Structure 1
Amino acid sequence: MNLFQSIQSLERAMDVSSLRQRLITSNIANIETPGYKTKDISFADILKQEQSNVNNFSFKGYRTHPSHFQITSQSNSYQHRIITDNRTSMLNNGNNVDIDFEMTKLAENNIWYNTLSQLINKEFSMLRLVINEGRR
């Protein structure tokens, strides 16, 4: 396992959450735009790709001692898919933005981003503790 794998995974999750925030705010901004259809990001595709990346390393470095860090190459890129909901229309002009639903998604995403931020801060404080050999 890569030493910084959890930090990299959290970083990618924060990137996705940031993109979702932009999509949701774009939906809210276009609430009066005729024909506008809501957009969101597919978390399931990203999660599936992230889980497959855990076991699929294309490069492993040679370690001369068992206590040395393991060197592996792991893809830092992920493919996201933006989904446009064409199924519904909330207004007569073809727009399907539901402000209540979008505000709920916005709050949910905000909580998720804050949780990820706290987790990454915890990872860094554990690294700081290790670097300082347990001294604060």
Structure 2
Amino acid sequence: MGIFGGTISNLERGLAFSATKHKAIAQNIANVDTPNYKAKSVSFEEIFSEVKRNGISANRTEEKHFNFQMRGNSPGVFNYANFRYSHNGNGVDMDKEQANLATNQIYYNALVDRVSGKLNTLQTVIRGGS
């Protein structure tokens, strides 16, 4: 366990998830006019389904704690295989993608603010409270 009890590593995983989601959204926006392009998405639900299929175990510090540990930190990217939004077979809804982009940007900025706050706290402790 680190100085912040794993908080920084959890925030780092959140930032990695958000970056992966941003890439998927950017690909969707870039391919809005590409015939037969299927929109991509990144979802925590996909990660949880994968973990559920592969099983869960954990680091236990106490014998009474549940035994589970997540394996793998990569978000689940998937395609909307049977979804068609336009006449050319393209599956990108530009309004939805722009809304997803804005939501993801707010999420990313919130995580960056938290990381910054944690590092400022550490800096204050190193300086001796001044």
TM (normalized to structure 1)?
A: 0.74
Report the 3-state secondary structure (helix = DSSP H, G, I; strand = E; otherwise coil) of the residue aligned with 2:11: helix
* Contact 2:58–2:70 (8 Å) recurs in 1: no
Report the 3-state secondary structure (helix = DSSP H, G, I; strand = E; otherwise coil) of the residue aligned with 2:88: coil
**AA partner of residue 44 (structure 2):** F
C-alpha distance in structure 2 between counterparts of 1:75 and 1:81, whole Å: 14
In the alignment, which residue of structure 2 is the partner of 1:85? 80
In the alignment, which residue of structure 1 is the partner of 2:44? 43
Gaps of 5+ in 2: 62-68
**Is 1:3 paired with 2:3?**
yes
Count how many residue pairs are aligned between Structure 1 and Structure 2. 118
Where in structure 1 do 4 or more consecutive aligned residues deviate above 4 Å? 45-49, 74-77
Report the 3-state secondary structure (helix = DSSP H, G, I; strand = E; otherwise coil) of the residue aligned with 1:83: strand
**AA partner of residue 14 (structure 1):** L
TM (normalized to structure 2)?
A: 0.78
* Contact 2:18–2:107 (8 Å) recurs in 1: yes
**Over aligned residue pairs, what C-alpha RMSD do you find?**
2.8
**AA partner of residue 89 (structure 1):** R
Cα separation, partners in 2 of 1:75 and 1:86, compared to 1, 3 Å = closer
In the alignment, which residue of structure 2 is the partner of 1:132? 127
C-alpha distance in structure 1 between counterparts of 2:93 and 2:73, whole Å: 29
Identity of aligned residues (%): 33
In the alignment, which residue of structure 2 is the partner of 1:12? 13
Displacement of 1:80 after TM fit?
A: 2.2
C-alpha distance in structure 2 between counterparts of 1:75 and 1:130, whole Å: 32
Displacement of 1:92 after TM fit?
A: 1.4
C-alpha distance in structure 2 between counterparts of 1:121 and 1:76, whole Å: 27
Cα separation, partners in 2 of 1:36 and 1:45, compared to 1, 3 Å = closer
